[in-house]
Structure formats: structure tokens, C-alpha cells
Amino acid sequence: MTGMKETLRRAGLAMAQLGKGAGLALVSYLFMALLLFTAFVTLLVVGAAVLPETVQLLRRTAGFKRRLVGTWTGRPVPEAYAPLTGDVRERVTAALKDPCTWRDLRWLFVHFVYGLVLLYVAIPLFVLGVLVDGVWCGLLRQRAVLLPLVAGLAGLDARWSRVLLTPSPDARRSAELAERVEELTVTRAGAVAAHGAELRRIERDLHDGTQARLVSLSMRVGLARRAFDKDPDAARRLLDDAQDQAEEALTELRHVVRGIHPPILTDRGLAGAVRALAAGSGLDVTVAAEGVEDPAGEAVRAPAAVEAAAYFVVAEALTNAAKHSGSARAFVDLSRAAGVLRVVVRDEGRGGADDAGGSGLLGMRRRVAALDGTLELTSPVGGPTVIEVELPCAW
């Protein structure tokens, strides 16, 4: 009886699968009318903007079928569409030149036939199978004969749909290339924005800090020169003040330079620089550096741009943890893999961090994206907050 129940359950699922396919076939019938309308208004030119929208709807229809097939077989059906971006002319051209548009159209017309036919065959087969296999399998304890055929029809529908909807290797490569170009375009825009923000920060720091101190230093030296003959003591005091101003200006300049490329990275490498950050963060930070330095403590150097990005990610993450997490502890893990530098920063604080919380996380994402890296933030309410960064790196 257990075998009969399982066979009946499987046949019921197959009927549901075929029913959804038949419903989609009926939708395809209505879609054909929409295609005729789209072709007509496109030929009139004034309605050309309708074509890309119709293609998008066609893609969503085919995507629904792909998900049905993937759910039934346990293997997803790939898709490789060219993006429909730009003005109306560019979108129309991309839609017409995309081979997957014509593949989806072929599937649409063929599926209208086999989607309905398979259901019409499956319905009487299912009813007859319940009666025959109910006696043959349920009472006589024999193997079911008819109900498995219903599942076979669902499998046949899935195989035909997979063949019709799977893009060719050339189409997949073209779509991946187009997606990559679009991703790099967004990344470049983010890198340009981050670079502009960094230049403005440096300009602001120089204007508000170093420049003001140098102006004050120049004024004191000028006053000291005028007072040197008449009042040497006053001139000496002014020179002492000027010396203090010069030292403060040097401190400001060092701060600006550290914001561009920290000298400690050059001197001590990434692992040493991160340990220095940890020591000055105000938190109890544990630093692990697997593969980033050899057992003798010598740094294994990554390219300067990669080290700088990793350093600033750790610096920003520890600053955020100290300010907002409420945790007294943090953990930093630097690890080396084939072609990748991996950075993980974790704190046990209150969590709830997101990109909308300030410019820090957005700046980190832009800095990482500029090097074609990835940043993943996990910060549920209640913690912990984990930032995982991977930076491509030629060691």
C-alpha cells in the first residue's frame, strides 16, 4: 500500500506539472496575438518601443517554464539573455539580434502544441491508472503500470522544454560578456566616484588643516623678523610658536599621507599594518594572518593597491565596530588563496549594520569593486557582524 501511495503521489505531482504547462500553453496562445500586434506597430515605426517590452514579457514567460522544469528535474535550465539597455533603437536592435529571442519564440509556438497534447493524454491515463493500478498494485501487490506513465509524460515535457530553452554555447558566452561589460561599467563608475571623494577629502584636509597652519607659521616668522631688532624676547617667543606650528603642520601632512597610502604598509606589510591598527583600535582584536606572512614573520607581499584596499577595509570595519557595535572584541582574519586575498572582520556586537547607515560601508564597497573584488556583509539584529572581502591578487 505504501508503494501505491507513493506512485499516486508522484502521478499527482506530474499532473500538476502538466497542468501548469498546459496553462502556460494557453497563455502562449494569447501571447501570439500580442506578438502579431507588436510586429504590426513595429513595422509602423511609431510603435517600435513596444517590441523590447514584449520581448521582456516573453523572457519572463520562458523563465517561468525554466523554473518549472528546474523544479521537476532538480537541474536548473540556464538562460543567457543580452541586456536591453539604451535608447529605443538600441533596445530594439538588441532584442532582434539576441539569438535567445528567437529561441524563446520557437519554444513558444512548439510548446503551445505539446503542452496541451501531453495534458490531454495524461488526463485519461491518470483516471484509468487510478482504477487499474488501484486494483493491480493496491490489492494484488503488483508493480504499478499506468500511473508511472503519467510521470513519464511530465518528464518528456521537461526534456523537450529543456532542449528548446537551453541557449547555445555562443549565446551564453555573448551574454556573459555583455553582463561582464555592464558590471565593469558600474564598477568603473563607482571607482571614479570613490576617487573623486578621496580627492575632495584630501583637498579639504589640506585646506582646513595643513594650509591654515602654514599660513599661521608664515605670519609668525614675518612678525618675528620685524621684532628681531627691537624686541628679541618677543621674536624668540614668536619663533617658538612658529616651530610648534611647523611640527603641527608636519603632523597634519603625515595624517594626509597616511590617508593616501599608509607608510606602515610599505614598512611592515599588510599583516604588520593590521596588527598596528588592531592595537590602536580600542578593542580587544585577534589577528590571524594565514599565508600572508611566512613562519619567520616575514611578510608575503601582495600588490600595493590590494594591500591598501585590504588595510582600509579593516580600518573602517574596526572603526565602525568601536563606534557602533557595543562589543569589546573583534576578530580579523587575513588569508591567502589561489589568486585571492581574503579578509574577514567579525565583531560580536549588536548587529543591524547596512549600507544605508553611512558612507563607510559604501566607500568600502567602491574601493573593493574598483579592484574587481567582492564584499559580503552579514549583520543580523543582535549580531554578529561579519564583513567578508575577496580581492583578486597575483602573489
273 near 258, Cβ under 8 Å? no
Report whether the peptide linkage leading into residue 169 is cis, meaning its omega lies within 30 degrees of zero: no
The confidence score (pLDDT) of residue 28 equals 78
What pLDDT was estimated at residue 294? 58
Beta-bridge partner residues of 378? 386
DSSP state of 210: I
H-run or E-run covering 337? strand 329-337
Q: Where in the chain are all domains bearing CATH 3.30.565.10?
A: 263-392
Are 274 and 334 in contact, with CB atoms under 8 Å apart?
yes
Residue 37: pLDDT band with limits 50, 70, 90 = confident
Q: What's the average model confidence in pLDDT over 163-180?
A: 70
Q: Angle of helix 147-165 relative to helix 99-133, nearest 10 degrees?
A: 180
Q: Where does the chain hold its CATH 1.20.5.1930 domain(s)?
A: 191-259
pLDDT at 131: 74
Calculate the alpha carbon distances from 59 to 108, 292, 369 in Å.
11, 46, 30
Q: Which of 224, 220, 222, 247 is nearest to 236 (CA)?
A: 224
CATH of 263-392, picked from 3.30.565.10, 3.40.250.10, 1.10.1740.10, 2.60.40.10, is 3.30.565.10
Spatial separation of the C-alpha atoms in residues 138 and 132, rounded to whole Å: 9
Tell which residue, 183, 164, 182, has the closest CA to residue 61: 164
pTM across the whole model: 0.48
DSSP for 99-132, please give it.
HHHHHHHHHHHHHHHHHHHHHHHHHHHHHHHHHH
Residue 1 clears pLDDT 60, i.e. is over it: no
pLDDT of residue 354: 74
Query: What is the pLDDT, as a whole number, of residue 139?
Result: 62
| Pick from 149, 159, 155: nearest CA to 121 | 149
CATH number of 191-259: 1.20.5.1930
For 289-341, what is each residue's pLDDT tens digit? Answer: 877 765 555 556 777 788 888 888 888 888 888 888 888 888 999 888 777 88
Greatest Cα pair distance, the chain, in angstroms, is 125
DSSP 325: I
Whether the pLDDT of residue 175 is over 60: the answer is no
Is the bond leading into 262 cis (omega within 30 degrees of zero)? Answer: no
Specify the DSSP class assigned to residue 166: S
